[in-house]
């Protein structure tokens, strides 16, 4: 089921809550410039294993409200906290893809764990995001031809072949976002540095990263693995930036193994 959670006056986030009766909860944070829908092929499978899966659209993206401001890691982490508090979540798994991984890291550090029992970083944009050159190029495209920018992102996102209908669906997901929020996150990805945060993560952490990732290089996953004490790095040999789809069967099985088997 889907509903809205107020995170500050006038700003409501869309939440998709699948199998609320599940015995273990996994909260998914999507990547830029997508929405919770990117995890469709996890929602199709993991609830059937007994998990409660919660997808959150950040402010400015998907079905959430689109304010003009608030696009920094601290505010985005605060938004997640508001959802966690409203739903009274405890002992949950936090899984973040790309920029969602950066938000997940900031959330855990900012809230001293924040009720998270395990962390999953999926092709995470950490400890850094875009280079200044990449950010400048994406920002220029976003402000002049956002649809073409999104097509370019899709073209380098996956390692394995995707069909034209899938590509169209993926592009439309990115186009749901506001132009201003899309641009603001590019600037955020250009400017943040999470190196000081990594050593403060104390929960068991699974790092999943495609070795062919053209958006966030695999070397950053290796760097995270060195700096996060209780971490395990699993290279995905046939994946790009979209390991959750490129090798979805392997990914879903790995999630089950890491999170633990939920009673049926």
Q: What is the pLDDT of residues 131-146, one digit of tens each?
A: 999 999 999 999 999 9
Cis peptide before 127 (omega within 30 of 0): yes
Q: How far apart are the first and last CA of the chain?
A: 20
Catalytic residue set: 98, 213, 241
pLDDT score, position 1: 87
Paired tokens of 19: 């199998």
How does the average pLDDT of the chain come out, rounded?
96
Number of domains in the chain: 1
Is 0.85 surpassed by the pTM of this model?
yes
- C-alpha 21/C-alpha 51 separation (Å) is 8
Model confidence at 261: pLDDT above 70: no
Model confidence at 262: pLDDT above 50: no
Q: Which of 50, 73, 79 lies closest to 196, judged by CA?
A: 73
Model confidence at 149: pLDDT above 90: yes
> Does some domain include residue 264?
no
Q: Cα-flanking dihedrals φ and ψ of residue 120, to 5°? A: -120, 120
Average pLDDT over residues 95-115: 98
Average pLDDT over residues 178-184: 98
Q: Cα-flanking dihedrals φ and ψ of residue 13, to 5°? A: -105, 140
> Does some domain include residue 206?
yes
Tens digit of pLDDT for each residue in 182-233?
999 999 999 999 999 999 999 999 999 999 999 999 999 999 999 999 999 9
CATH of the domain at 62: 3.40.50.1820
> Does some domain include residue 188?
yes
> Does some domain include residue 135?
yes
Paired tokens of 223: 């760097």
Average pLDDT over residues 92-120: 98
> Does some domain include residue 194?
yes
Structural domain including 31 reads 2-259
Q: Which of 159, 174, 170 lies closest to 239, judged by CA?
A: 159
């Amino acid at each position: 089921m889907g509903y809205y959670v107020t995170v500050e006056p006038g700003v409501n986030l869309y939440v998709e809550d699948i199998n609320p009766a599940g015995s273990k909860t996994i909260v998914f944070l999507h990547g830029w410039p997508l929405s919770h829908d990117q995890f469709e092929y996890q929602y199709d499978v993991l609830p059937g294993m007994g998990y409660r899966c919660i997808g959150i659209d950040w402010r400015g993206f998907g079905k959430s409200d689109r304010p003009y401001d608030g696009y920094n890691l601290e505010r985005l982490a605060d938004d997640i906290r508001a959802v966690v508090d409203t739903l009274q979540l405890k002992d949950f798994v936090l899984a973040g893809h790309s920029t969602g991984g950066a938000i997940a890291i900031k959330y855990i550090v900012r809230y001293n764990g924040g009720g998270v029992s395990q962390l999953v970083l999926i092709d995470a944009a950490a400890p850094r995001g875009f280079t200044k050159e990449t950010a400048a190029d994406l920002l220029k495209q976003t402000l002049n031809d956002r649809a073409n920018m999104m097509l370019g992102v899709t073209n380098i996102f996956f390692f394995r072949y995707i069909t034209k209908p899938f590509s169209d669906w993926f592009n439309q997901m990115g186009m749901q976002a506001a132009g201003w929020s899309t641009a603001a996150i590019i600037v955020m990805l250009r400017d943040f540095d999470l190196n000081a945060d990594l050593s403060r993560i104390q929960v068991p952490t699974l790092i999943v990263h495609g070795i062919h990732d053209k958006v966030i290089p695999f070397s950053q996953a290796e760097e995270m693995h060195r700096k996060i004490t209780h971490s395990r790095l699993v290279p995905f040999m046939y994946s790009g930036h979209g390991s959750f789809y490129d090798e979805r069967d392997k990914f879903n099985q790995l999630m089950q193994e890491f999170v633990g088997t939920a009673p049926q």
